[in-house]
């Protein structure tokens, strides 16, 4: 329950009231059950599980649709010692017409519907009964749910009518399929809302992706929450199932990372780093780090992993990067950088960039031959934001300390650790 509530809160889908719990409403369900019993719309059924199994097996053997045959409908006397279930007396004749807002007109013959259980033998209400009572009491006007519930709808409508209540408008939306066309399941990836947060998706991206999954408004792909509310119409939902496309979600997430305010990204980045066991208090401002990474990162989890070096020292270099950029040829550029950066008073990206350019010019090297050894020295790997921004964010003391370690590493032919 808490996972559901936390997921809704993260998505910004806040309820106007509640949540209300069905377990707190058992007295109300019992009251309505007694009303149905008294009006002749419900009856006690004493059939055992074994009897029901035998009945269904016999029906299937005759090629019939297995369903309860109503044998306890007109029972005059209770069976002593057998706790009964309470069944709804479904109409024998006529039809139930569902004018579904997605599926259109769907017709069910009452003779095909069996007498559904309202209360189990232990007194616990069933789903099909409790939701009718809840929706009736709470004035629910529209029920939007998966089309796997469509077959429940005629049964529920008959209960509404037995209670003299007007059924709500129903809209049954298609199920989401995995990329392979099968029903979405654990093997397709994340299965809870909060798992998407853990994987580094922004709630804006997830909402935008889901609203476009089976619904469209022209060719528009990006929707703000306000636009979703204003433009969405249940009548525009596709009847056919849509397949979940992880690449599309990733594309949307990258878009929202690029567009979000740095302070907004900083909140999620901090959450991600703390999940990785990183203390963010001793490093650069998170909004500045998010700003530096936003053009490259597809997820906040990816951003957090790439940003760890700002907050924690590393014990080893990326093997291939160190072999390419922290060898003997890097000693002179690294030493010159150490000298230039140590003398720098204005520790900003602009002056840092000038030092890197000056060293490259002095040694008649391309910028990459200077910048990349510096990048591996300070970050431990081959990828980071622009080197001047990276060094500015890291701070003077950490930058110089890591440069010293890199020089020792290069002088030792790669034998010294990153934090020697």
Q: What is the largest CA-CA distance in the chain?
A: 105
Angle at 163 between CA 99 and CA 28, to 5 degrees: 115
Identify whether the C-beta of residue 370 lies closer than 8 Å to the C-beta of residue 363. Answer: yes
d(CA 398, CA 390): 11
User: What CA–CA distance (Å, rounded) separates 281 from 33?
Assistant: 59
Token couple for 108? 């069910």
Catalytic site positions: 186
Residue 110, token pair as written in the block: 């009452």
Give the containing element (helix H, strand E) for 108: strand 104-109
Q: What is the DSSP letter of 21?
A: -
If we measure between CA atoms, which residue out of 249, 257, 207 comes closest to residue 232? 207
Q: Are 20 and 131 in contact (CB under 8 A)?
A: no
Cα–Cα distance, 352 to 349 (Å, whole number): 5
Residues 6+ apart with CB under 8 A from 394: 284, 309, 310, 378, 402
């Amino acid at each position: 329950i808490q996972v559901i509530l936390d997921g809704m809160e993260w998505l910004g889908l806040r309820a106007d009231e509640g949540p209300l719990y069905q377990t707190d409403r058992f007295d109300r369900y019992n009251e309505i059950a007694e009303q149905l019993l008294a009006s002749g719309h419900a009856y006690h059924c004493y059939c055992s599980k074994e009897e029901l199994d035998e009945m269904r097996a016999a029906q299937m053997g005759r090629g019939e649709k297995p369903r309860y045959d109503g044998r306890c409908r007109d029972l005059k006397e209770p069976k002593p010692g057998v706790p009964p279930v309470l069944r709804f007396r479904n109409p024998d004749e006529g039809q139930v017409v569902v004018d579904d807002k997605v599926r259109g007109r769907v017709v069910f013959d009452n003779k095909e519907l069996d007498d559904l259980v309202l209360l189990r033998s232990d007194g616990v209400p069933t789903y099909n009964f409790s939701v009718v009572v809840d929706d009736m009491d709470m004035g629910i006007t529209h029920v939007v749910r998966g089309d796997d519930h469509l077959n429940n709808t005629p049964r529920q409508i008959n209960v509404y009518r037995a209670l003299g209540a007007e059924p709500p408008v129903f809209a049954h939306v298609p199920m989401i399929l995995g990329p392979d066309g099968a029903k979405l399941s654990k093997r397709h990836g994340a299965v809870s809302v909060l798992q998407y947060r853990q994987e580094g998706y922004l709630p804006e991206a997830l909402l935008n992706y889901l609203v476009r999954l089976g619904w469209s408004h022209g060719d528009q792909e990006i929707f703000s929450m306000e636009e979703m509310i204003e433009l969405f119409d249940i009548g525009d939902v596709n009847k056919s199932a849509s397949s979940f496309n992880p690449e599309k979600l990733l594309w949307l997430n990258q878009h929202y990372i690029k567009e979000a305010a740095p302070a907004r990204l900083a909140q999620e980045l901090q959450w991600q780093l703390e999940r990785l066991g990183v203390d963010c208090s001793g490093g650069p401002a998170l909004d500045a780090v998010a700003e530096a990474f936003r053009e490259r990162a597809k997820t906040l989890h990816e951003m957090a992993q790439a940003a760890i070096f700002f907050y924690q020292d590393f014990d080893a270099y990326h093997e291939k990067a160190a072999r390419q950029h922290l060898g003997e040829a890097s000693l002179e550029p690294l030493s010159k950088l150490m000298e230039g950066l140590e003398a720098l008073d204005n520790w900003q990206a602009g002056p840092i960039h000038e030092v890197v350019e000056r060293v490259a010019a002095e040694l008649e090297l391309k910028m990459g031959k200077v910048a990349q050894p510096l990048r591996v020295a300070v970050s431990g790997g081959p990828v980071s934001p622009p080197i001047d921004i990276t060094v500015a964010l890291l701070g003077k003391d950490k930058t110089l300390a890591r440069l010293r370690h890199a020089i020792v590493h290069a002088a030792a032919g790669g034998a010294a650790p990153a934090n020697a």
